Structure 1
Amino acid sequence: MNKGNGVEQNDQVLTKKDLWRAMRRHYLAISTYNYDSGFAATLVWELFPALSKIYKDDSDGLQESIDNQFKFYNCNPWVSPIITGATLAIEEKGKNKSLQAVQDLKAALMGPFSGIGDTLIWVLFPTVLGAIAASMGKLGSSIGMWIYATIYILFFFLRSFLYNVGYQSGTSLMTNMSDKLSALTDAVSVLGIAVIGAIVPSTVNFKLALKFSQSGVSLTGQQILDQLMPGLMPVLLTWLLYWMLKKGHKMTTLILMVIIIAMSGAGLGIFKA
């Protein structure tokens, strides 16, 4: 065990066999989702053998790590291995001192990586290759279908390679910054906050539909709010839901509440899409 400027750097304990085991579990784990924590519960199952080896003689540290992994995580399954591989490497090197960096890195990358995976692999890839296969099928040829299946299988097994890419990247990051772990944590924390801040106004569609008229001049309530602070309504709604979650309200309750408010507000002409 080495030390750099007061921060411990542990020798590598995970082998290629451990990474392959995590990767095999990934194929099953990424298939289960819930609104409370996204893929977090199955991510814990995916990483548990590796984490158990990292914290072999530290049951309290293992429990703290598992609790940290249970925080919300949602990423396109085709590119998720890059993130989980990297966080596994970071935690291997920094152990409990790196838990905040692990969580911040996941929060920062899962949105942008999902955008790439959803666009290329879930939209562009099946649309283009599906159209080619269908066109060739109409002409009586099955070649397009076999091309589609072959490329799909290649993408499927590529995920194993991406897991190793993520792990190696995380290892290099921690090797180069082992003595600057707090700086790394601050950096990815700022990145995560910036990403989440950009997601809120761009994905939460919550606007006022109220109109005000005076002396022939018409102005909507949304225009007034936009002049004060663009995106204020989505931010307030997100803050309210987050506050209610912290108070212990269930996710299903919040979803039903939002549906009722949206339908009632639209019916009364208060809100609009």
Structure 2
Amino acid sequence: MMSKLKKYKVTKKDLRHVAYRWNMMPANLFNYETQQGAGFAWALAPLLRKIYPNDEEYEKALKNHFNYFNATPQMTNIILGSVIAMEEKDGIEAKDAVQSFKTSIMGPMSGVGDTVFWVLWPTIIGSISGYMALQGNPAGAIAWFLVNIVIYLLKVWFVGAGYNSGTKLIDKLGDKIGIFTDAASIMGLSVIGGLIATVVKISMPVVFTFGKVSLNLQTGVFDKIMPGLLPVVLTYILYKMLGNKKFTSTKAIGLIIMISLIGTFFGVFKA
């Protein structure tokens, strides 16, 4: 009876330890039956042992987390924190509630996490860092490295945020994360649009001569319509072609190299 009355109080050190263990394991323990389930259980195992000194309860709680689970790893840190709060408060009686919570929340959280962490920030920071590298500026590589450090620290903080707010944090995020995602999407599109005009270089020095009148195709036609027109057209064509499953990025690179060589040889493009 005394063991049931004395509940273990989770510390900040425990939360950081869970975050460190999870950050190493989302892919390392991935399998096609439970996907991230084993990694989730492994991350919580030492802390669950403290929460459940009783062997039978510990086994049930641990086994519960080996069930199917799959979510964006960064957002899973928030879920981990919320689950810890539930386990600490209600003990083994929260087993079914914990599983229901994980099952219901992993989809919505992945929708947000995939957008922010797999699409937006690699696109924005990667594009900026790549452009700086093309200019011979080492700050591009440094910026990419520093941003990854910030993301790692953010993931550690996420576990504490999820624990301190419990399931309430999920509700709060649901109201505001859409605004943040839309703003980040607009920023990402703006960065990509600027990079297309500055990084993608296409120049056609073809000159049409009519008696004493000459017309440069690049400066007299394309630049008059819109500066950077050809890079935009090329990017759009490649974007549509990559939408076809049979057309890969490797084929796209090969096609660009072939067209560039042939066009330069015949004087269509400027070397």
| Same fold per superposition (TM over 0.5) | yes
Preserved contact between residue 7 and residue 51 of structure 2 (Cα < 8 Å): no
User: In structure 2, what is the Cα distance between the partners aligned to 1:87 and 1:123?
Assistant: 27
Could you list the per-position Cα deviations for residues 68-117 of structure 1 after superposition, in whole angstroms to 9, with x for gaps in the alignment? 11110111111111001111110111111111111111111111111111
Letter in 1 for 2:50: K
TM-score, normalized by length of structure 2? 0.57
Structure 2 residue aligned with 1:55: 52
Q: Does 1:38 align with 2:35?
A: yes
Larger Rg: 2
Could you list the per-position Cα deviations for residues 109-139 of structure 1 after superposition, in whole angstroms to 9, with x for gaps in the alignment? 1111111111111111111211112222222
Letter in 1 for 2:98: V
**Which aligned pairs between 1:216-235 and structure 2 lie closer than 5 A?**
none
TM-score, normalized by length of structure 1? 0.57
Preserved contact between residue 36 and residue 69 of structure 2 (Cα < 8 Å): yes
- Compared with structure 1, are the counterparts of its residues 172 and 138 closer, same or farther at alpha carbon in structure 2 (3 Å cutoff)? closer
Where relative contact order (Cα < 8 A, 6+ residues apart) is larger, the structure is 1
How much does 1:160 deviate?
Answer: 0.6
5+ residue gaps, structure 2: 170-271
Number of residue-to-residue matches in the alignment:
167
Greater CA drift, 122-131 or 80-89: 122-131
Could you list the per-position Cα deviations for residues 158-214 of structure 1 after superposition, in whole angstroms to 9, with x for gaps in the alignment? 1110000011122889xxxxxxxxxxxxxxxxxxxxxxxxxxxxxxxxxxxxxxxxx
User: In structure 1, what is the Cα distance between the partners aligned to 2:18 and 2:12?
Assistant: 10
% identity of equivalent residues: 35
User: In structure 2, what is the Cα distance between the partners aligned to 1:171 and 1:129?
Assistant: 31
5+ residue gaps, structure 1: 2-7, 174-273
RMSD: 2.3
User: In structure 2, what is the Cα distance between the partners aligned to 1:16 and 1:98?
Assistant: 22
How much does 1:18 deviate?
Answer: 1.7
- Compared with structure 1, are the counterparts of its residues 127 and 36 closer, same or farther at alpha carbon in structure 2 (3 Å cutoff)? same
User: In structure 2, what is the Cα distance between the partners aligned to 1:149 and 1:109?
Assistant: 31
Question: Match for 2:114 among 89, 98, 118?
Answer: 118
Preserved contact between residue 39 and residue 73 of structure 1 (Cα < 8 Å): yes
Question: Match for 1:84 among 63, 80, 85?
Answer: 80
